Structure 1
């Protein structure tokens, strides 16, 4: 019988082991047995908590997405003024937070994106994440721009964030966080130039 309170600890161990395994051997060779070995548990524990490898990958991505949301919220919480510019800068910075650019997290993101094209549950999660990012960005741009301009600006910033992140993840030298954030901020400034808050 498992000890009371062990489930959250076991889940976290398995999520961390999943990211480590993907980092070391890639998703195709990350088997339930490999994950269980890295976590120091039996394979039955993975089936019990997650139903298998796909369920564990989904839980891992939910954790990473939770970390992403928290990194943005922390930046927004310390804004001196409630401005669209400040919130948009927080979104850019949060997407390049250390929690999103470690080698194991970046490889897990890449594995998730590739797998989501073939797994409906992961595809739904990716779709929700995309919609949330676009919606949050669009909401802030709407404070200065009309509906169509805000949608266009939001699509551009979301694509810029994803593109900079992807290029950095695939670059042999890794991601240049400072440069990526600077380019994101410059885009925000260009979109909000010559506008005033309603």
Structure 2
């Protein structure tokens, strides 16, 4: 049991060191030697826990998404009402660039690799899919009463819009933090979605 604990500690240490190297140098500019120096470990120890550099980089991406999902569950899941849950989820998404800038630094690095690396693309696609499914799940519980959306396809579209706008704003703020007021954007985003809720099903065309 102690040996398993040490293994997890070492893996976390290496993953964090890799994340730091990615943020500092960029995904394509780091080596196992760089990571070993950052982690203050030998390259042999890194290869003991990870098959190769590609395996390690994939684990870093998975861990970033795992932590993001865990934080969403802690922040949003305890809320019962679907609309309140949605608004809190929006607040959480817009707070990430400030509260967890490392997430966006890592995400932006890997997005550039997604079109060239099928494994990276698959992990990112799964992250988006799971996030959409979670939003659809809690909105579908009482959409007709609380949200006013009776068509499931509109709920799915809402989830895609929420993720697209949220991540897009986060990326813009990461690049130009002085240009965007995240707090005001959160309020405006909630107002936009409020208008989406109020549209009647017949207005879809």
Is TM > 0.5 for Structure 1 vs Structure 2?
yes
Q: How does 1:22-33 map to 2 (within 5 A)?
A: 22-33=22-33
In the TM superposition, residue 172 of structure 1 has moved relative to its aligned partner by 5.3
The partner residue of 1:126 within 119, 124, 127 is: 124
In the TM superposition, residue 176 of structure 1 has moved relative to its aligned partner by 4.5
Unpaired runs of 5+ in structure 2? 201-205
CA distance in 1, matches of 2:139, 2:3: 49
CA distance in 1, matches of 2:172, 2:95: 16
In the TM superposition, residue 97 of structure 1 has moved relative to its aligned partner by 4.4
Q: Look up the match of 2:34.
A: 34
CA distance in 2, matches of 1:124, 1:99: 23
In the TM superposition, residue 181 of structure 1 has moved relative to its aligned partner by 3.0
Preserved CA contact (<8 Å) 2:33 2:43: yes
Aligned pair 1:182/2:180, yes or no?
A: no
Q: How does 1:106-145 map to 2 (within 5 A)?
A: 106-142=104-140, 143-144=143-144, 145=149
In the TM superposition, residue 110 of structure 1 has moved relative to its aligned partner by 0.8
The partner residue of 2:86 within 57, 72, 88 is: 88
Unpaired runs of 5+ in structure 1? none
Matched residue of 1:118: which SS?
coil
Preserved CA contact (<8 Å) 2:97 2:170: no
In the TM superposition, residue 159 of structure 1 has moved relative to its aligned partner by 1.3
Aligned pair 1:70/2:75, yes or no?
A: no
Preserved CA contact (<8 Å) 1:141 1:154: no
With structure 1 as the length reference, what TM-score do the two structures score? 0.83
With structure 2 as the length reference, what TM-score do the two structures score? 0.80
Matched residue of 1:5: which SS?
helix
Preserved CA contact (<8 Å) 1:169 1:175: no
Number of equivalenced pairs: 192
Aligned pair 1:18/2:18, yes or no?
A: yes
Q: Look up the match of 2:58.
A: 58
The structure with the largest helix share of the pair is 2
CA distance in 2, matches of 1:43, 1:180: 45
Q: Look up the match of 1:149.
A: 154
Instruction: Encode CA deviations 1:111-167: one digit per residue, 9 max, x unaligned.
Output: 111122222221111111111122222234432311232222222212111211111
Matched residue of 1:28: which SS?
helix
Instruction: Encode CA deviations 1:67-92: one digit per residue, 9 max, x unaligned.
Output: 2112111122442xx22212212332
RMSD: 2.6
Q: 1:156 to 1:74 in 2, by over 3 A?
A: same
